[in-house]
Structure 1
Amino acid sequence: MSLSCFELGEQMLSVDAARDALMTLVEQPVAVERVALGSAYGRRLATDITAPINVPQNTNAAMDGIAVAWPKQPPFQTQWPVAGDAFAGQAYEGEVPPGWCVRITTGAPLPSGTDTVIMREQLVEGDTSVAVNSPERVNVGQNVRQAGEDITQGAVALAAGTRLDAASMGLVASLGYAEVAVYQRPRVAIFSTGNEVTPPGEPLPSAGIYDTNRFTLIGMLSEQGADVVDLGILPDDPHAIERALADAATQCDLVITSGGVSVGQADYTREALETLGQLAFWRVALRPGRPMACGQLGDSRTPFVGLPGNPVAVMVTFSQFVVPLLQRLQGQPPVPPQRLTAIAQAPLKSRLERSDFLRGIYTCDDLGVLHVRSTGAQGSGILTSMVMANCLIELGDDQADVQPGETVCIQPITSWQ
């Protein structure tokens, strides 16, 4: 962007412009640390994982059976004298002469001189020799895994920035790494605001609401690998909010609030942000979630995101803005949300010059075509719509109402990005 994000002020930003501006608030990523591989699930790699060995290390048998030294001249023999045995972890020593075989188990290194494995189910074994049934089914080189066919020594097995899941942890282990260098978990402070907000487990006042957003944020931040610092509920008191923001800025890499960022009479979070730091922007052309204050706090210039107060708006804005911000904090270029194309099954309401994110349910027909419908009522306080949804239907700011049969963009809802 040509403008500094702090020059955006009162402008109404598109979703893409707001996302780009938000990324500039992160001035440096979190620190790097080394952790035991067994504790690295969900962490982002800070360096490439390079293969110090071939995987597999040796050319080996893909099945139990015999490893044969294919004769130099046809015809293929049906009776093979046995030179010895090879087991996983115990290689056969020596050269196998042409026309001989070695009994072998899956994973055992292929003995020198052999090039083919015939599976046990095709064999009739004797004391000193083995007969092969259906020799016409045998091909040179079959049932053999070549050294390095998975990963070649010196190759990059996993790039820096990869988030370690179960498969990638197994891959790292296969290369012999007991520790990995990863980005520290971003420390994210969260709190809810409002005199009406009541902790679950306490009696609900007649004018109160239970604190939904803080627990939703704890879940979403945990899914993204963050270390959550829960600061609880703050009253509609500008001094209390200011103190909490100031303390959080010194302890954490990112501060998130929910509620208190609109133009309401008791919305003090934006005022506290402007006192302690600098407001970048606070108006985004999307529904749900238009009031969203962003900026930096204190001398540390800690990024701050003030999410809306309605539960669905919190989840939508988190997916569009906080997820890429957490990626940025961990040294990664922001990855756009996954988008697929689906056919609308019913009319969908939208408005030009505003992005609408509707909660949807998509299915796949027998031909592999995706179809989508809304979950029903789309109020930003209807949290059951997010529970039912498996996607967000993204209607861009250049898209008006959608009719059945028209194509729309959907973002599948996943917990791992």
Structure 2
Amino acid sequence: MAWFGRKKQDDDVVEEEIIEEPRLPEPPAADAQGLRSVADHTAYLLELVEPLKPFGMSLLEAWDQVMCEDIDSMINVPPASTAKVAGYAVRASDLLDDEGHLAPPLAIVDADVDHLPADAAVVVGAGDVLPRGANAVLPSSFAAVEENHVRLIEKVSAGEYLRAAGEHLRQGTRLLSEGDVLGERAIGLLASAGVDKVLVRPRPRVVVVSSGEHLVEPGAEIRHGDVADTNSFMIAAAARAIGATVFRVAVHSNDPDAIREAITDQLIRADLVISTTGGRREDYETVASVMRDLGLVDSVDVLMTPGRTQTFGLIGDERVPMLMLPGNPVSAYVSFHAFARPLIRRLMGARTEHRAVRAIASGTLRSLRGQMHLLRGRVWSEGSVRHVEQVSAPHALTELARSNALIVLDDGIETVRPGEAVKVWLIEEE
């Protein structure tokens, strides 16, 4: 987006329009060391991304997406009154004569009658729809059949032994509100109420672009100096778990032109681009350079371990958001949850806060004061109490695979002792 200004040379010169170079909004202030807090960086990124525009979808297509409208029931549930017991559909006022005694026998009419005639009854079973005009069910034990007539033994009042139309849900009742997430049970509720389409935000389309000349596909031969491309698969799966539609593209090169072409080819279908590389610094720097050629870039060191270096940009003519993750697998995964997850949730129009809970530390946890430290952890519950232990392993991906949470040690925490409570971000359902 161009910013415009006017330069006045002197009183006799007509003002000339100067088109300034596009730039990102002013970033949040850094500390004395030039570092940005995690909270400030997250808020800054979220300001640069807007939720996707909503459109109408069928119920199944809209599963797990955020509602953009209030939905009221279009029908009564049940739509018509039904019998709770076997017996006779009747009009309660026909059961007593003018003196308050049981009325003469009622004529039995066909069940397909459109409207119940006066002084008549229809044979019904439990669950059968009552004809219009009927407002009660006379149980079989309350009457006797004589020559196609129902002789009354007991009477019933209006509304007895039936399930009235709208008893479960009346037309116009609020079912879901804007901002609700459409789960499977909500879909059943809407379907029962006659709703077939809803206005929701679409699933964000996330393109994971992998680059690095020493990266090879899983299953391919790994030669000396090569490494399997794990980051792009892990991050693509993580984005899909949040609810995004994910595409993965691999370049297997450090050639800037090849990377530039791979990125620009994906912008037409991407709501968010995520770059993953190997662990080599040159891989990261090449993509960062390409990002600067393609758009507006913010590159900063944040007060977070792991994942200190973070790069974000608005790429191409449409200013598609692009997030570049560090090359180390743990740093990439932690950075995804710290920054990519909120961005994807923002595109969805959903809450961007992490699923933070408190858990009791099972061992000593240590951090460096002045920065947020995200440790890999395993959370479990004993009754209503959550516990957490730090997971460590020589192999970074083994460590991640054994974890179901990130232990959050904020910048003011140096030590958490066994038995003390600590904040954790849940990354798996318990």
TM-score under structure 2 normalisation?
0.73
| 1:33 matched to 2:55 | yes
In the TM superposition, residue 286 of structure 1 has moved relative to its aligned partner by: 2.0
Q: Tell me the equivalent position of 2:180.
A: 162
SS at match of 1:164: coil
Using the alignment, how far apart are the partners of 2:160 and 2:387 within structure 1?
44
Is it true that 1:363 corresponds to 2:385 in the alignment?
no
- When residues 275 and 168 of structure 1 are mapped into structure 2, their CA distance, relative to the original with a 3 A threshold, is same
Distance 2:388 2:108 in 1: 62
Aligned counterparts of 2:393 and 2:303: Cα–Cα separation in 1? 17
Are 1:20 and 2:20 an aligned pair?
A: no
Q: How much has 1:103 moved relative to structure 2?
A: 6.2
Aligned pairs, number: 389
Residue 223 (structure 1) aligns with: 241
After TM superposition, list the pairs within 5 Å mapping 1:118-157 onto structure 2: 148=166, 151-157=169-175
* In structure 2, C-alpha distance between the alignment counterparts of 1:23 and 1:96, rounded to whole Å: 68
1:390 partnered with 2:404:
yes
Residue equivalent to 2:25: 4
Measure the CA separation in 2 of the matches of 1:370 and 1:34: 40
Contact 1:185 1:225 in 2 (8 A): yes
CA shift in 2, pair 1:389/1:265, >3 Å:
closer
Q: Identify the residue that residue 313 of structure 2 maps to in structure 1.
A: 295
Residue 404 of structure 1: aligned partner: 418
Is 1:44 aligned to residue 66 of structure 2? yes
Q: Which has the higher contact order (CA 8 A, sep 6+)?
A: 1
Alignment check: 8 A CA contact 2:358 2:423 kept:
yes
Number of the residue aligned with 1:377: 392
* SS of residue matched to 2:243: coil
The Cα offsets for residues 156-192 of structure 1, whole Å up to 9 and x where unpaired, read as 3223343332112212211222233332332222111
Residue type of the alignment partner of 1:398? G
Match of 2:76 in 1: 54
Q: In 2, are the aligned partners of 1:83 and 1:96 still within 8 Å (CA)? A: no
Q: Partners of 1:260 and 1:270 in 2: how far apart?
A: 14
1:96 and 1:114 in contact (8 A); partners too: no
Unaligned runs of 5+ in 1: 73-80, 130-139
Secondary structure of the 2:396 match is coil
Query: 2:78, 2:393 → 1: CA distance?
Result: 53
- Read off the aligned partner of 2:392 and give its amino acid letter: A
Q: Distance in 2 between matches of 1:142 and 1:396?
A: 63
Could you tell me how far apart the structure 2 residues matched to 1:198 and 1:40 are?
Answer: 36
Q: CA deviation at 1:91?
A: 10
Report the AA paired with residue 71 of structure 2.
Answer: I
Aligned match for 2:198, one of 177, 180, 183: 180
Q: Which residue does 2:301 correspond to in 1?
A: 283
The amino acid that maps onto 1:216 is: M
Q: 1:258 aligns with which of 276, 283, 288?
A: 276
Distance in structure 1 (CA, Å) of the matches to 2:337 and 2:143: 62
CA distance in 1, matches of 2:37, 2:113: 64
Quote the Cα distance in structure 2 between the aligned partners of 1:241 and 1:267.
12
SS at match of 2:365: coil
Alignment of 1:56-135 (within 5 A): 56-57=78-79, 94=116, 104-106=125-127
How far did 1:24 drift? 1.7
Q: CA offset at residue 257 of structure 1?
A: 0.4
Flag the 1:225–1:341 CA change in 2: closer, same or farther, 3 A. closer
Q: Any idea what SS the aligned residue of 1:268 has?
A: helix
How far, CA to CA, are the matches of 2:51 and 2:284 in structure 1?
34
Distance 1:150 1:268, change over 3 A: farther
Distance between the aligned counterparts of 2:319 and 2:210, measured in 1? 21
Secondary structure of the structure 1 residue equivalent to 2:267: helix
Amino acid in the other structure paired with 1:14: S
Give, in angstroms, the shift of residue 320 of structure 1: 2.7
Residues 318 and 54 of structure 1: is their aligned pair in 2 closer, same or farther, counting only changes over 3 Å?
Answer: farther
Contact residue 261 and residue 268 of structure 1 kept, 8 A: no
CA displacement, residues 272-294 of structure 1 (integer Å, 9 cap, x when unaligned)? 22222122243222223222211
Instruction: Tell me: CA distance 1:266–1:43, structure 2 relative to 1, closer, same or farther (3 Å).
Output: closer
Give how far 1:4 is off. Answer: 3.5
Q: 1:59 to 1:251 in 2, by over 3 A?
A: same
- Contact preservation (8 Å) 1:54, 1:153: yes
**Secondary structure, counterpart of 1:38 in structure 2:** coil
Cα distance in 2, alignment partners of residues 320 and 143 from structure 1? 58
Alpha carbons of 1:54 and 1:196: their partners in 2 closer, same or farther (altered >3 Å)? same
The more displaced of 201-210 and 382-391 is: 382-391
| Separation of aligned partners in 2, 1:266 and 1:38 | 40
Q: How far apart are residue 202 of structure 1 and its match?
A: 0.8
Aligned equivalent of 1:132? none
1:82, distance to aligned residue in structure 2 (A): 11
Partner of 2:208, secondary structure, is strand
Query: CA 1:82–1:234 in structure 2 vs 1: closer, same or farther (change >3 Å)?
Result: farther
Paired amino acid for 1:413: I
